[in-house]
């Protein structure tokens, strides 16, 4: 298992993931990021807040960016 960090960017802020998540591989981390995006969107709809999120970066514990996902533009390797 490896530790993956999910750093969020929105129109107003950059939010670093200080803890990360232990996952078996990068594909599991990508799946986790997709579910996280769905959860953020659903929460905004439920609370009637503006959705300003636009990307997530997946990094390893050394800080290397391994993958990213931008809302509406697919995945980046």
* Every domain of the chain and the residues it spans: 2-76
pLDDT value of position 9 = 85
Q: What is the pTM of this model?
A: 0.78
Banded pLDDT at 20 (limits 50, 70, 90): very high
Average pLDDT, integer, range 3-16: 87
The residue count of the chain comes to 77
What are the tokens at 4?
A: 């993956």
Banded pLDDT at 73 (limits 50, 70, 90): very low
Average pLDDT, integer, range 24-39: 92
């Amino acid at each position: 298992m490896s530790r993956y960090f999910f750093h969020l960017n929105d129109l107003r802020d950059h939010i670093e993931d200080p803890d990360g998540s232990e996952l078996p591989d990068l594909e599991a981390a990508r799946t986790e990021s997709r579910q996280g995006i769905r959860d953020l969107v659903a929460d905004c709809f439920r609370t009637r807040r503006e959705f300003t999120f636009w990307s997530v970066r997946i990094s390893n514990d050394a800080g290397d960016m391994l993958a990213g996902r931008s809302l509406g533009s697919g995945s980046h390797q």
